């Protein structure tokens, strides 16, 4: 015969919970809870005063080697554990919940090795990109490519330290004729509204280094550059 009062208590959440402090939750119960709605699982725990840290014995099973072990968890940690098992990604967070210590160490070592390989591949790619960047944009004889977009220069996947080192070894007047500098200068003029930032003239505009401390890194430090008309530029250098 169906106990209507029992179901009424469950539906109205009038019960005080069933899982008591110190109870043993084996791997089968854990698996059942993983596939249940979180709030329903929470409602199964007896309620204790906020300051009381009730602990439960939980059986865990390594998803790789099948080893089982028992740990103590409070309700918050237990809910965090079963929630982690829902993740489908191969994250270290999930791995730490589904693997024993030995298997987790193997997992971390494998991830570190993959990261090392990816790092080497990315370094190689970035180095090749940098060489191509220097060849293409630090040419002393600019072509129509001087009209490349600012973002192409600014957000290139290159080693800007290597680029800066190359620039700093260049003759300065040769540098001023490069595609790189013309793109940077155009951006500075655009930022200034194609007006001299001293007299507001729109004629014969130049771009002036206020400081050379970041020479070679101009693309990363536009704050060091200012748009001036030729007359103000000459006055500035004379002063």
3-state secondary structure the chain: CCCHHHHHHHHCCCCCCCECCCCEECHHHHHHHHCCCHHHHHHCECCCCCCCCCEEEEEEECCCCCCEEEEEEEHHHHHHHHHHCCCCCCCHHHHHHHCCHHHHHHHHHHHHHHHHHHHHHHHHHHHHHHHHHHHHHCCCCCCHHHHCCHHHHHCCCCCHHHHHHHHHCCCHHHHCCCHHHHHHHHHHHHHCCCCCCCCCCCCCEEEEECCCCCCCCHHHCHHHEEEEEHHHHHHHHHC
Low-confidence ranges of the chain (pLDDT < 50): none
What's the confidence (pLDDT) of residue 222?
94
Model-level pTM? Answer: 0.59
What's the confidence (pLDDT) of residue 145?
52
What's the confidence (pLDDT) of residue 18?
84
What's the confidence (pLDDT) of residue 194?
95
What's the confidence (pLDDT) of residue 153?
92
What's the confidence (pLDDT) of residue 98?
86
What's the confidence (pLDDT) of residue 200?
94
């Amino acid at each position: 015969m169906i106990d209507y009062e029992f179901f009424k208590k469950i539906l109205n959440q009038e019960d005080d919970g069933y899982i008591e402090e110190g109870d043993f939750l084996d791997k089968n119960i854990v698996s059942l809870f993983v596939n249940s709605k979180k709030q329903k699982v929470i409602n199964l725990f007896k309620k204790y005063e906020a300051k009381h840290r009730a602990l439960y014995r939980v059986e865990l099973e390594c998803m790789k080697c099948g080893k089982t072990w028992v740990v103590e968890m409070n309700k918050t940690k237990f809910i965090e554990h079963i929630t982690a098992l829902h993740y489908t990604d191969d994250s270290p967070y999930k791995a730490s919940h589904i693997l024993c210590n030995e298997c987790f160490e193997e997992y971390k070592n494998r991830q570190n090795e993959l990261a090392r390989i990816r790092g080497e591949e990315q370094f190689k790619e970035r180095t090749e990109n940098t060489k191509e960047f220097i060849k293409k944009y630090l040419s002393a004889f600019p072509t129509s490519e001087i009209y490349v977009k600012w973002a192409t220069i600014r957000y290139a996947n290159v080693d800007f330290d290597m680029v800066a080192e190359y620039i700093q070894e260049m003759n300065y007047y040769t540098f001023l004729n490069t595609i790189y500098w013309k793109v940077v200068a155009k951006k500075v003029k655009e930022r200034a509204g194609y007006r001299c930032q001293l007299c507001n003239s729109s004629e014969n505009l130049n771009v002036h280094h206020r400081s050379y401390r970041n020479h070679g890194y101009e693309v990363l430090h536009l704050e060091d550059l200012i748009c001036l008309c030729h007359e103000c530029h000459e006055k500035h250098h004379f002063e």
